[in-house]
């Protein structure tokens, strides 16, 4: 592995499991120092830090911070800055709540928007000036296919992800001229996954599998056939690989993009 992120520091929110952990491991494999974050017990935090070091990070540290609370985010970002970063910021922490617009409450709306959108606003506004000063920076926001198209019963989630894509485009324009080809520049992009192989979709897969005598593969294909033409899930590591490439200096002119990893979902 080309360790082109040696000397860089990365903060990945929501990185004690799933997509966030896969992204963090990918960055670690290229030599980045990794700031891990998430809702975790001390043991889970220690295990995540150990996983980053095993993946190749020269240093890893767990940072606390309830991303629903601006003051907690400010404290976390100050701690990360004192640690030497972030040169790379991955906003992965997120929540989904399936509910009809008629049945959604303001509390549900506020919670989803706070975690999925407002938290990224706060981390970006605090991280990007330092990136611009150094001439290199990468923000990778894990949005969703639902930042590009809508589905029923997901108004707060869809609104938060559309907002994240839009905010990322604004930031990309504001920082497009920062740095240079030689320094790597500052870029802000979104990755928009469709169905990803995580524990979150397992109950849906197994519910469909019951129609096929418990055959999980057929259950997954049946679930995906509603939306994802490839009928294949993506693995978290595939999202990690894309995020890693976006952090490469060669990607200095890839900014303001919202890249779907959705098996053709948004091509329809």
Over the stretch 223-262, which tens digit does the pLDDT of each residue have? 999 899 999 999 999 999 999 999 999 999 999 999 999 9
As a whole number, the mean pLDDT across the chain is 96
pLDDT value at residue 1: 63
User: What is the mean predicted confidence (pLDDT) over 160-175?
Assistant: 98
Is the confidence at residue 36, as pLDDT, over 90?
yes
Over the stretch 63-100, which tens digit does the pLDDT of each residue have? 999 999 999 999 999 999 999 989 999 999 999 999 99
Is the confidence at residue 57, as pLDDT, over 80?
yes
DSSP-derived 3-state class of residue 233: coil
Q: Is 175 a catalytic residue?
A: no
User: What is the mean predicted confidence (pLDDT) over 7-31?
Assistant: 97
Asked if residue 80 lies in contact with residue 11, where contact means CB atoms within 8 angstroms, the answer is yes
Q: What percent of the chain has pLDDT over 70?
A: 100
pLDDT value at residue 204: 86
Over the stretch 90-127, which tens digit does the pLDDT of each residue have? 999 999 999 999 999 999 999 999 999 999 999 999 99
The more confident residue out of 226 and 61 is: 61
The more confident residue out of 14 and 85 is: 14
The end-to-end CA distance of the chain, in Å, is 36
Question: What ranges do the domains of the chain cover?
Answer: 9-194+234-258, 196-229
| ∠ CA 48-235-34, rounded to 5° | 30
Which string of b and e fits 153-164 if b means at least 16 CB within 10 Å? ebbbbbbbbbbb
pLDDT value at residue 198: 85
User: Looking at the domain that runs over 9-194+234-258, which CATH code has it been given?
Assistant: 3.40.50.720
For residue 238, give both structure tokens: 């595939």
- Cis (ω within 30 of 0) for the bond into 86? yes
Asked if residue 30 lies in contact with residue 105, where contact means CB atoms within 8 angstroms, the answer is no
Over the stretch 128-140, which tens digit does the pLDDT of each residue have? 999 999 999 999 9
DSSP-derived 3-state class of residue 11: strand
pLDDT value at residue 244: 98
């Amino acid at each position: 592995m080309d360790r082109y992120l040696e000397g860089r520091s990365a903060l990945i929110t929501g990185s004690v499991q799933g997509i966030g952990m896969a992204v963090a491991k990918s960055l670690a494999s290229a030599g980045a120092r990794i700031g891990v974050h998430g809702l975790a017990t001390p043991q889970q935090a220690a295990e995540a830090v150990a996983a980053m070091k095993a993946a190749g990070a020269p240093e890893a540290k767990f940072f606390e911070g309830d991303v629903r609370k601006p003051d907690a985010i400010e404290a976390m970002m100050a701690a990360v800055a004192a640690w030497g970063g972030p040169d790379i910021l991955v906003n992965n922490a997120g929540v989904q709540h399936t509910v009809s617009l008629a049945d959604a409450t303001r509390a549900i709306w506020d919670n989803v928007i706070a975690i999925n959108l407002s938290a990224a606003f706060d981390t970006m506004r605090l991280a990007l000036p330092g990136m611009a000063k150094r001439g290199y920076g990468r923000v990778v926001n894990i949005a969703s296919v639902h930042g590009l198209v809508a589905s029923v019963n997901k108004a707060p989630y869809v609104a938060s992800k559309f907002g994240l894509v839009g905010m990322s485009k604004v930031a990309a324009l504001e920082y497009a001229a920062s740095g240079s080809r030689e320094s790597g520049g500052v870029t802000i992009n979104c990755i928009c996954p469709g169905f990803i192989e995580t524990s979150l979709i397992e109950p849906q897969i197994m519910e469909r599998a019951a129609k096929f005598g418990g055959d999980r593969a057929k259950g997954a294909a049946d679930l995906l056939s509603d939306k994802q033409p490839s009928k294949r899930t993506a693995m978290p590591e595939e999202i990690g690989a894309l995020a890693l490439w976006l952090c490469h200096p060669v990607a200095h002119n890839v900014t303001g993009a919202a890249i779907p990893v959705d098996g053709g979902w948004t091509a329809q």
